[in-house]
Chains A and B, each alone.
Chain A
Amino acid sequence: MAADITSPVAMRARKKRRDDNGSLTVGRSRAGTIVANTVGIVFGVLMLFPVYWVLNTAFKPADEVLALEPGFWPSNPTFDNFISAFKAPLFLQDMLNGVVITLFAVAGALVVGFLGALAIARFSFYGRKAIILVVLVVQLVPFLALLIPLFLMLQNVNLGFTTLNLTDSLIGVSITYLVLILPYTVWTLRGFISGIPRELDEAAMIDGCTRAQVFWRIILPLTGPGLVATSVYGFIQAWNEFIIINTLNSPDKQNLMAWLLQNQTTRGTAWGPLMAGAIITSIPVVIFFLIIQRNIATGLTAGAVKG
């Protein structure tokens, strides 16, 4: 890689030089900075309040949850709600289902989507525009419009030698979720791959790489942040989906979202366990997000080609 003028090291060196001349502040007013920060804080509170309320409710004992005067802090914090969520029928089963379905769908969509995106971003061929158009169109139309045909298709999968019924199975839902997150995966990765300069491919090929090696050793590593970003989005989509799974599968083959929804309607005012269940359900997504959130914003190719 060529020298990177935007690298942190270079920035630090330049900053230091400036500071030696007496810190150079350019352009904007202090008042503007205060306004910007105030707006940020207000907005942050609005964003966070409902999340805080979920936490608050989940740690309250049952009598406090239903108290007319809402307390802003649980006076006797308890884990009872979490325990009763875990003990609730089908909770663990549906959690496991969700893990299996989501992992399959995200991994599958990444592999299939990366290859598809490569073909679209790096080759020109007859029908390329048509494929891009179909990808766009598909992701635009709400999946709900396809729920009836999907149900009919999965009910009667003809493999030639035998027919299968994939409704009320984890396989059917997994494949459906894969298809659901595939358009986004292809579209986003296409953008990331297009952002990698073709000069890199050419340079590698002049140095003796085959085309396959270019994809494997140049493009795949440079698409890293893109793969991370798309897998996060795919994960959230698949993990949080409940309409399709609710329609196709019976409660013992559903995921935690469908479980929550079911328990919201059947249990009425048992807010504590429900909110505890909501927190448990959100934990994988939160952890996943916290691990990768630093990488989301990192572009690897900046400065790979001079000028």
Chain B
Amino acid sequence: MRHGKYPFIIGFLVVPVALYAIFVVWAYIQAFYLSVYEWSGLGPVTNFVGLGNFQKMIHDTLFWQSIKHNAFLLILLPLITVILALVFAFLLNVGGGHKGGVTRGVWGSKVYRVIFFFPQLLALAIVAVIFGRVFGPDKSGMINGLFPESWQPWLFLADERYAMACILVVLVWQAVGFYVVLFSAGMGNIPQEVYEAAAIDGATRVTLFFRITIPLLWNTVQVAFVYLGIAAFDAFALVNIMTVDRGGPDGATSVLSLMIYRNAFEFSQAGYASALGVVLFFVTLSFAWVTLSATRRESVEA
């Protein structure tokens, strides 16, 4: 199978590589270039400031707050979502017990599969509006409304201490269904015989989960971690719509991407925004490197 492979390789790759080169590589070169200029976003780019934008960043407390919030999401969002999704995918596929030679999911597992996917289908704009009601800071809020009159209502998004946690809850709520479906698909590819054999040998649900499901799904789990990492950086949409004062109260929910957007398209600080973009670039690269090397582990062939 060695002869004549290069025409295929070149033919297959020319379009995607060209698109990447233009829309990503070239775009990044421009972003790096703009990051050393002070530029409003309009007119010629002339005011070279060297590392001035980065110096400004170091002294910007909002920047450090934003980094902290991104880190918070980056650690907790993938962890919580993957654990929940794995458990529920397992319940759907294997949790119902093992009868008559067939391993089954819990009752109505087909219905759950649809239900869990629903949040993924709702636009973020809608999700944000709904959870604005759920987290209402007075008695009209869905959660506060559940408690008796004497209850001192939680402020949720208006409380600096819990605002970020509220964002995290919404992100998990929205993401988990997709990963349940993704993991279910992976579990469907694990041969029944493997579960059957283990069950006959006396394996409990917990043993099946840790000794069979997880090792055989490891590649998919790794992909999930990477994707949820992106979602953590993309919290922009939700933060932008949901939070008090967009990123508030008092910067308590600001994230890096929100800073980029506001500087570029509202504060006429396109140069500074580009510098923030460069930082985001390196932060995500570091994340990629850490995730991929930390989860690298020989996966088991099914």
B219 touches A23 (CB 8 A): no
- Contacts A27-B204, A113-B16; A148 near B91 (Cβ below 8 A): no
Contact for A302 among B8, B123, B191, B273, CB less than 8 A: B191
A140 touches B13 (CB 8 A): no
List 9 A-B pairs, minimum CB-CB distance, nearest first. A145-B277, A119-B12, A149-B30, A149-B27, A115-B12, A116-B16, A36-B95, A278-B126, A297-B188
Point out the residues of chain B lying under 8 angstroms from A51, CB to CB: 118-119, 122
CB distance from B284 to the nearest CB of A (A): 5
**Would you call the interface of chain B mostly helix, strand, loop, or mixed?**
helix
A145 touches B192 (CB 8 A): no
A297 touches B264 (CB 8 A): no
B280 within 8 Å of A (CB atoms): yes
Which of A75-83, A84-92, A257-265 lies at the interface with chain B? A257-265
Contact pattern, B 155-190, Cβ under 8 Å of A = 1, otherwise 0: 000000000000000000100110001001100110
B123 touches A257 (CB 8 A): yes
CB distance from B153 to the nearest CB of A (A): 15
CB distance from A74 to the nearest CB of B (A): 16
B97 touches A140 (CB 8 A): no
Supplied contacts A115-B11, A153-B22, A179-B24, 14 more A-B pairs, CB within 8 Å: A15-B102, A27-B202, A36-B91, A44-B112, A53-B130, A54-B130, A146-B28, A148-B274, A153-B27, A191-B223, A286-B121, A289-B114, A297-B185, A299-B185
Q: How far is the CA of A24 from the CA of B100 in the complex (A)?
A: 5
- Residues on A facing B (Cβ under 8 Å): 5-6, 11, 14-15, 17-19, 23-28, 32-33, 36-37, 39-40, 43-44, 46-48, 50-51, 53-54, 68, 70, 112-113, 115-116, 118-119, 123, 125, 131, 134-142, 144-150, 152-153, 175-176, 178-179, 182, 186-187, 191, 201-202, 205, 211-212, 229, 236, 240, 242-243, 247, 257, 260-261, 264, 274-275, 278, 281-282, 285-286, 289-290, 293, 296-299, 302
A-B contact count (CB 8 A): 288
CB distance from A138 to the nearest CB of B (A): 5
Q: How far is the CA of A51 from the CA of B205 in the complex (A)?
A: 32
Q: How far is the CA of A179 from the CA of B233 in the complex (A)?
A: 18
CB-contacts of B189-207 with A (<8 A): 189, 191-193, 199-200, 202-205
**Would you call the interface of chain A mostly helix, strand, loop, or mixed?**
helix
B257 touches A112 (CB 8 A): no
- Contacts A43-B88, A211-B8, A257-B125; A293 near B31 (Cβ below 8 A): no
- Residues on B facing A (Cβ under 8 Å): 1, 4-6, 8-9, 11-13, 15-17, 19-20, 22-28, 30-31, 34, 41, 88, 91-92, 95-102, 106-109, 111-127, 129-131, 133-134, 140, 142, 145, 173, 176-177, 181, 184-185, 188-189, 191-193, 199-200, 202-205, 219, 223, 226, 229-230, 233-234, 236-237, 241, 257, 260-261, 264-265, 270, 273-274, 277-278, 280-281, 284-285, 287-288, 292
